[in-house]
């Protein structure tokens, strides 16, 4: 692929740092790399592929044309919803492929929400593409082949979400509390070391947390099942990296355990762990594997199954998926141009 000019907005955050690592690991064709962060990080720099790269703010980083990120071919936004809302459409309008890791535009009808193994074909000529939530990606990867083969009537998930999903300050808070230091919780709503809590974002009037709503709404969009019945309980656990999810789902038509296993084994987006095997967060941290294990009948409902899914929330749950989207979009353009 022809090398492209790449920007990362939010380059000093956990996802931004993971993006840098994954662009390198996957030998992403980078002609030029521009890194942006908030004013707090101004003056710092990053060494990437042996080259020193200065961190700029978006304001000072305007191109010669005066527009943010002018001349950039691929821009990754990983700086939160507000920054994305302010800049992502402008940058895409100026011609760049924008992959937005924030929540800002995931549910907008004109913005495809993409997990390449599930619905990469929706990327087409789109220049603004949303990357789903870190808990939704593994859940959707598990359910997509089941939905395709047998239909999915409902899904219910209890999450075991690591602290890195709440960002660098939350991770520091866990580390400080684990060493016996740290005052009142600040980045997280409660003490997390030696504790778990079912609170991840604000609660709506019906009592669902922000994360629980995201999981339901994004899953419906990713699977293209607008009526899918979904419920979630999102829980933070004292793990640094790697999300676990206890998933229950019901199929529309009868399917034997062997038939479910067979479609899961054959789907490229997941690693299927046979029998009672499974992966824990510590097993998948640092990898791109979404491991589906402990598949068994859900005795609470007819035509229903239980399983356990684990994945690295910073990689396939965020940065790896974003880079895969960029690769897919560049391939589409290369094919169209040839």
So which residues are the catalytic ones? 134, 243
- Region for residue 49 given its phi and psi (left: phi exceeds 0; alpha: psi -120 to 50; beta: otherwise): left
Q: Report how far residue 327's alpha carbon sits from residue 116's, in angstroms, rounded to the nearest whole number.
A: 10
The DSSP element (H or E) to which 307 belongs, if any, is strand 304-311
Integer angstrom CA distances of residue 66 from 58, 63, 82, 261: 11, 5, 21, 54
Does residue number 292 form part of the binding site for a copy of itself (CB under 8 A)? no
Neighbour count for residue 3 (Cβ, 10 Å): 11
Which CB sits closer to a copy of itself, 131 or 164? 164
167, 137 in Cβ contact below 8 A? no
Residue 193: CB minimum distance to a copy of itself, A: 9
How far is it, in rounded angstroms, from Cα 299 to Cα 160?
22
Q: Which of residues 190-209 bind a copy of itself (CB under 8 A)?
A: 190-191, 194-199, 203, 206-208
Binding mask 220-249 for a copy of itself (x = CB under 8 A): ---------xxx-x-x-xxxx-x-x-x-x-
The residue from 276, 286, 331, 334 that contacts a copy of itself (CB under 8 A) is 276
Three-class secondary structure of residue 75 per DSSP = strand
Applying CB under 8 A, the span of 20-28, 38-46, 58-66, 291-299 interacting with a copy of itself comes to 291-299
- Closest approach of a copy of itself to the CB of residue 308, in Å: 5
**x-or-dash string of contact with a copy of itself, 46-75, rule CB under 8 A:** ------------------------------
Contacts with a copy of itself in 142-171 (CB under 8 A)?
Answer: 154-156, 158, 160
Residues in the chain: 338
> In this structure, are residues 135 and 317 in contact, taking their beta carbons and an 8 Å threshold?
yes
| In contact, 54 and 45? CB cutoff 8 Å | yes
Do residues 93 and 63 lie in contact, with contact meaning Cβ atoms separated by under 8 Å? no
| Region of 74-82, 108-116, 134-142, 288-296 interacting with a copy of itself (CB under 8 A) | 288-296
Burial of 60 per CB tally in 10 Å (0-12, 13-18, 19+): exposed
Helix ranges restricted to H, 72-192: 81-93, 116-119, 136-150, 168-178
* Nearer Cβ to a copy of itself (117/212): 212
Based on CB atoms, which residue is closest to a copy of itself, 9 or 219?
219
The answer to whether the CB of 322 falls within 8 A of the CB of 101 is yes
> How many residues interact with a copy of itself (rule CB under 8 A)?
49
Taking contact as CB under 8 A, which single stretch among the options 41-49, 60-68, 71-79, 187-195 is the one that binds a copy of itself?
187-195
Of 19-27, 64-72, 125-133, 271-279, the segment contacting a copy of itself by CB under 8 A is 271-279
Beta carbon nearer to a copy of itself, 71 or 182: 182
- Measured from the CB atom, is 110 or 274 closer to a copy of itself? 274
Residues that bind a copy of itself (CB under 8 A): 154-156, 158, 160, 178, 190-191, 194-199, 203, 206-208, 216, 229-231, 233, 235, 237-240, 242, 244, 246, 248, 275-276, 278, 280-282, 294-301, 304, 306, 308
């Amino acid at each position: 692929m022809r090398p492209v000019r790449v920007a990362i907005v939010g380059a000093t955050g956990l996802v931004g740092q993971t993006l840098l690592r994954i662009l390198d690991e996957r030998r992403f064709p980078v002609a030029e790399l521009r890194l942006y962060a908030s004013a707090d990080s101004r003056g710092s720099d990053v060494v990437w592929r042996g080259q020193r790269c200065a961190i700029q703010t978006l304001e000072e980083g305007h191109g010669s044309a005066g527009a943010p990120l002018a001349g950039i071919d691929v821009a990754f936004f990983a700086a939160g919803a507000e920054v994305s809302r302010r800049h992502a459409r402008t940058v895409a309008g100026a011609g760049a492929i924008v992959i937005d890791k924030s929540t800002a535009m995931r549910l907008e009808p004109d913005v495809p929400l993409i997990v390449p193994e599930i619905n990469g074909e929706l990327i087409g000529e789109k220049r603004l593409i949303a990357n789903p939530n870190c808990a939704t990606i593994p859940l959707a990867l598990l359910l997509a082949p089941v939905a395709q083969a047998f239909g999915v009537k409902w899904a219910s998930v209890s999450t075991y979400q690591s602290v890195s999903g709440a960002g660098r300050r939350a991770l520091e808070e866990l580390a400080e509390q684990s060493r016996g230091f740290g005052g009142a919780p600040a980045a997280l709503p409660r003490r997390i070391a030696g504790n778990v809590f079912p609170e991840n974002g604000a609660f709506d009037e019906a009592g669902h947390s922000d994360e629980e709503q995201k999981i339901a709404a994004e899953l419906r969009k990713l699977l293209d099942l607008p009526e899918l019945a979904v419920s979630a309980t999102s829980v933070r656990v004292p793990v640094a990296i790697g999300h676990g999810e206890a998933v229950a789902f019901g199929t529309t038509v009868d399917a034997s355990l062997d038939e479910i296993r067979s479609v899961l084994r054959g789907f490229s987006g997941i690693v299927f762990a046979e029998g009672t095997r499974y992966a824990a967060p510590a097993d998948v941290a640092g990898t791109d594997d979404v491991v589906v294990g402990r598949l068994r009948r859900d005795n609470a409902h007819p035509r229903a199954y239980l399983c356990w899914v684990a994945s690295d929330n910073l990689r396939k749950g965020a940065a790896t998926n974003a880079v895969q989207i960029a690769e897919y979009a560049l391939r589409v353009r290369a094919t169209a141009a040839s």
